[in-house]
Copies of this chain bind each other. A is one copy, B any other.
Amino acid sequence: MASARRIGTETSRTRARLLEVTERLMVEESFVAVTSRRVANEAGVNPALVHYYFPTLDDLFIAVFRHRTERLLQRLAEDLQTDQPLWAMWEYNSDRTVSALATEFMALANHRKAIQAEIAAVAERIRAMHLRALADTLERHGIDTEIFAPAAIVTLMVAIPRSIAIEEALGMTAGHREVRALVEHLLERLEGPRRKATKTAPGMIR
């Protein structure tokens, strides 16, 4: 019997609030801002309570990651089951909250190895989902998949909006409008104009 330490239930409202606060801190500031004291203050509770629900900070970070990931994977799976998977990827990854969180978690993984494996696994899983949704799309549109390999397209649909988001957070703007115009021009040529009412999610870049 190692430890009889108590841990709060997963359905607690307070626990949910701690997750919210942590995620917000990561998006608005950085993962460095996430400390048990800071999270507790923002949530209006005592610091010790953070450790009651999440024994270590790694536990807290991983809980936030899983909580977010579940919702996102679900939404993404639905989005990809249309005839415009490329448009869906592009919009999904252009969501400001999505890209900001992804960036912070990747930076976090650089110095918390316990988290690295989990993040990489989910990222690869998302990439696989993307690839599957794109499997026949390119051939159907008569693309030379020798050069424009599906794996390359998928990687670009993530890489481009993520880099742009990072630069925007820094206050840079040069070239962003032009890149978006270029990509969307190509998407239109491939999949036609974006149909579906783009319910601009909160956190959308523009």
Residues of A that sit less than 8 Å from B by CB? 29-30, 32-33, 103-104, 106-107, 109-111, 116-117, 119-120, 123-124, 127-128, 131, 147-149, 151-152, 154-156, 158-160, 162-164, 166-167, 169-172, 174-176, 178-179, 181-182, 185
Bound together, the chains give a CA A147 to CA B184 distance in angstroms of 10
Q: Kindly state the separation between the CA atoms of A103 and B109 in the bound complex, as whole angstroms.
A: 13
Q: Are B174 and A124 in contact (CB under 8 A)?
A: yes
Chain copies in the assembly? 2
- Given the complex, which residues of B lie within 8 Å of A178, measured CB to CB? 149, 151-152, 155
The answer for the CA separation of A185 and B152 in the assembled complex, in Å, is 12
Give the residue name and chain of the B residue nearest to A180 (CB).
B152
The reply to whether B158 and A163 contact each other, CB–CB distance below 8 Å, is: yes
**Residues of B with C-beta under 8 A to A119:** 170
- Contact between chains at B160 and A174 (CB < 8 Å): no
Query: Which residues from B are CB-within-8-Å of A174?
Result: 124, 127-128, 131, 151, 155
Chain B residue nearest to A26 (CB atoms) is: B110
Specify which chain B residues have a CB less than 8 angstroms from the CB of A160 in the assembled complex.
156, 159-160, 163
* A173 → B minimal CB distance (Å): 9
Q: Given A29-B111, A30-B107, A32-B32, are A159 and B163 also a contact pair (CB < 8 Å)?
A: yes
A154 to chain B, nearest CB (A): 6
Contact A107 B109 (CB under 8 A): no
Closest chain B CB from A33 CB (angstroms): 6
**A154 vs B76: C-alpha distance when bound (angstroms):** 30
Q: Are A155 and B175 CB-contacts (below 8 A) given A30-B107, A181-B149?
A: yes
- Whether the pair B171, A164 counts as a contact (CB closer than 8 A) is no
A110 to B131, CA, bound (A): 32
3 A-B pairs closest in CB distance: A159-B163, A155-B175, A152-B178
